[in-house]
Chains A and B, each alone.
Chain A
């Protein structure tokens, strides 16, 4: 065993850990709010647009993160459509900022939030909602009394997968955010920096930490998945 694995983490490491957790939590919260109506629409509506939307949602799965990061940089940067508009409004552009990488990771993790929700909405089907409606439940009431309890598994899996996927994000952040401590330097980027600077011990500490926490999160997801599948069979 390498004794340096158990050495104290530096303030810079702690800062990156805090920033990473913040990014993961924000991304998960925003994505649950965004992906729920989107997955709902995809699951229950018949529309010509559906195929196109589904393909767009799945794009981050196949594109290299650098491509995504590159286009976001163009769009959100000082000369991009969104970035320059913000500048004209007296705000700053979004490249190399926390807001920027937050937007990037929301887009990058979108399929991981939409897919499990879509799956569980499809499994539920429109039947229970029709039943609830004939019994006097309005839309919001249906969401809380039928959709949330019946698709609980889908929501939990979507949240954990989004969290875990954001934890492992690297390419988009490096392209869009660079490596600004406290602003865009998340764990994956910091590990890269440590390695570049030949600080193998510190890189190892953080890598091992990420490896273990990713394993734990996935272990929980698959455990939950199995449990909800069993429930669905009953």
Chain B
């Protein structure tokens, strides 16, 4: 009896899947998909009081690429994101996206009319639908009202979802569910993608499985993303800009490399982010250039040679400084930089040296004693030895 039912089930699923696949055969790559918007501007005016907690904002956020909404748990990030989405309605709030009023006075555009895609922290797949039906839930509803910027076939190949499509949500791992949820949000043709700690509920292995896909989405779709996170590790791998929140306020916003200089972010280990161009690969060594300066790094084993731009994450404690270039050191990556300032480090015996490299900031963590011994001063040219780099 059970056999009959399971056979029946698999027949239904496979016929359904093949029907759906035939259904999107007409979405050939040639069919011109319209370009998603490159940037969104959000005007926010919002006051939320909840017990002792107050969220108070009056800001304009210019969103392009990936913008991280970063801050400790409980600082109001998710509250803000839910208000932007329209999931919570706060009296007196004003929210505008470009020139469209989402909320002002008595006007409140309901969630389903806002052109957003949202990925929630916990698995949000609708349990009564298959992965495929989940994936197409938003597509079917939004595609009637808008030009198609992303086709199911594109998203399925971008996120490598093919083999998951016939499965039920409970048959998927946490990371796979988030991948389907991400694809589903993308297919709802959003002009803005809201990600509420999409990695927080996942174990380390699943995080590592989904991060590359988030990076791909950021690179390939161009849809502005607002990523809520309290993990700096995730943020530096993904974000281009960072909005820093503390105790219900936005305390600064700007490009990620600049924001990494903020003392609030340095507290958990100062780091820097450099953008470099790839010049190709030689003997498994990736040749990178920043301005006229060169770096060589072991190429990632998964390297396909197609990536032209890289993000280099460098911990401040992995940067050493010398007054002259070192030729008899094992550290082969040496960059000529100029000192632009000094910041206090969390430890009283240390100092964070702010460096500049063709307009890009870099930080080095030295003891105050070393800095004095070298006689480091603002404006001085020095050589930075980079001991370790994480590549994205």
Contacts and interface: CB of A to CB of B under 8 A. Distances in A.
Query: Which of B112, B118, B124, B127: most chain A CB closer than 10 A?
Result: B112
Nearest to A135: B138
B126 A133 contact: no
Contacts of B137: 132, 135, 137, 145
B188 A135 contact: yes
B190 to A, nearest CB: 9
B41 to A, nearest CB: 21
Contacts of B87: 130, 133-134
Nearest to A145: B137
A138 interface: yes
A146 interface: yes
Interface in A105-144: 127-128, 130-138, 141
B141 A150 contact: no
B271 to A, nearest CB: 33
B120 A131 contact: yes
Contact of A141 (B86, B118, B141, B185): B141
Nearest to B194: A134
Given A136-B141, A234-B170, A131 B126 contact: yes
Nearest to B125: A131
Contacts of B145: 136
Interface string A163-178: 0000000000000000
A128 to B, nearest CB: 6
A75 B145 CA distance: 52
A133 B110 contact: yes
A90 interface: no
Nearest to B146: A136
Contacts of B141: 135-137, 141
Query: Which of A132, A135, A149: most chain B CB closer than 10 A?
Result: A135
A137 B112 contact: yes
Interface in B106-164: 110-112, 116-118, 120, 122, 124, 126-128, 137-138, 141-142, 145
A91 B242 CA distance: 71
Question: What's the dominant secondary structure at chain B's contact region?
Answer: mixed
A134 B118 contact: yes
Given A130-B111, A131-B120, A136 B126 contact: no
B170 A150 contact: no
B202 interface: no
Interface string B82-95: 00011100000000
Nearest to A232: B127
A141 B120 CA distance: 21
A132 B128 CA distance: 13
A150 B128 CA distance: 7
B46 to A, nearest CB: 19
Given A130-B111, A141-B141, A135 B128 contact: no
A149 B117 CA distance: 23
A145 B124 CA distance: 15
A130 B114 CA distance: 13
B188 A134 contact: yes
Q: How large is the interface on B (under 10, 10 to 19, 20 to 34, 35 or more residues)?
A: 20 to 34
A131 B82 CA distance: 12
B150 to A, nearest CB: 14
Interface string B69-113: 000000000000000011100000000000000000000001110
Query: Which of B85, B124, B142: most chain A CB closer than 10 A?
Result: B124
Contact of B117 (A130, A134, A145, A150): A134
B184 interface: yes
Contact of A133 (B111, B122, B170): B111
B112 A150 contact: no
A141 B128 CA distance: 15
A133 to B, nearest CB: 4
Contacts of A133: 86-87, 110-112
B112 to A, nearest CB: 5
A60 B170 CA distance: 40
Contacts of B120: 127, 130-131
A151 to B, nearest CB: 10
Contacts of A130: 87, 111, 120
A134 B111 contact: yes
A137 B138 CA distance: 8
Interface in B185-202: 185, 188
Contacts of A135: 112, 117, 137-138, 141-142, 184-185, 188
B1 to A, nearest CB: 15
B138 A136 contact: yes
8 contacts: A131-B118, A133-B86, A134-B117, A134-B188, A135-B112, A135-B142, A136-B112, A150-B127
CB-CB nearest 8 A-B residue pairs:
A135-B138, A136-B141, A133-B111, A134-B118, A136-B142, A149-B128, A131-B124, A133-B112
Given A134-B85, A134-B138, A149-B128, 9 more contacts: A128-B124, A131-B120, A133-B112, A135-B117, A135-B185, A136-B145, A137-B141, A145-B137, A234-B170
Interface of B: 85-87, 110-112, 116-118, 120, 122, 124, 126-128, 137-138, 141-142, 145, 170, 184-185, 188
Interface of A: 127-128, 130-138, 141, 145-146, 149-150, 234
